[in-house]
Amino acid sequence: MKDIIIGSRGSDLALWQTNWVKKQLETLYPAFHISVKIIKTEGDKILDVALSEIGDKGLFTKAIEDALLGNSIDLAVHSLKDLPTTLPAGLRIGAVSKREDQHDAFISHKHNSLDKLPMGSVIATGSLRRKSQLLNYRSDLNILDVRGNINTRLRKLEVEGWDGMILALAGVKRLGLTAQLKQIIPENIILPAVSQGVMAVEIRAEDKELLKMLEPLNNKNSLSQITAERSMLKTVEGGCQIPVGVFTKIENEKIYLDAMIGSIDGKKIVKCSMEDSIEKSEELGIRAGLDLLERGGREILSSLR
């Protein structure tokens, strides 16, 4: 293998992430020729329907994974939060990046924080998880669904004159779009998405050479965090379009996890907080998932389905 083809979505953020991985590999392996192939996913094509209505099983990943399995690309770079917890047979995660800040961001041209918003303000977000927690915090807010990449969303915010928008802070920072960033939303108001802020490199399961090449990119702390978060999500059988949030941090060889499941109207939210040693990240996630289901999460999820 002397040529490596990386598959990527065509959005600015997807290309930023792909080019970041490309640069790392070019630095590590200058003898290799590394190129990028842009692939349009189902989620990129359907922009006029809410994500919650089209289902999310591989919406932003399936076309890229098909290209991997068909050998037309060698690896794929994703926002890990887009990857389902069960990957297609024949594929695996080869590396996860160091995590960017996992919080959500409040973007506005008019107001400095969620608390400063007037009654009945209009806030745009494409996420049921954010909608649930926002309405739980401020039931007076009017939440609008918005689709499209970050730049498209920011343009809509300006044109439509909405009071604000919630985006993942990681994407805003990576693209240098912090001009309208008014507040990094603390996790006691909105728990982030599973794996938010982490990039994943997906490869064919049998590609041992590429797996070894990716080793230097693999971040140990990120791996522990996302192992806990994804095992929690798998336990509750939640996808991207179910109001499930989680925040993890690592301190002194321990991993701390806060998680939630909520109703879309924000009237019912169940939460749990747990900790364990880093080696038990997967078990911690499973325990948290079971705890959420027992506390009322099961009823919330069955009402959503």
Return the active site residues: 82
Determine the distance from the C-alpha atom of residue 50 to the mean position of all C-alpha atoms in its chain, rounded to a whole number.
17
Distance of CA 73 to the CA centre of its chain: 23
Neighbouring residues of 206: CB distance < 8 A, sequence distance ≥ 6:
90
HSE toward the beta carbon, residue 248, CA cutoff 13 A: 32
Could you give the strand order of the β-sheet that contains 33-38, starting from the edge strand earlier in sequence?
33-38, 3-8, 75-79, 199-204, 91-96
Q: In terms of C-beta density within 10 A (0-12 exposed, 13-18 middle, 19 or more buried), how is residue 41 classed?
A: buried
Q: Answer yes or no: are the C-beta atoms of 170 and 186 closer than 8 Å.
A: no
Q: Count of residues for the chain? A: 305
CA distance 138 to 114: 9
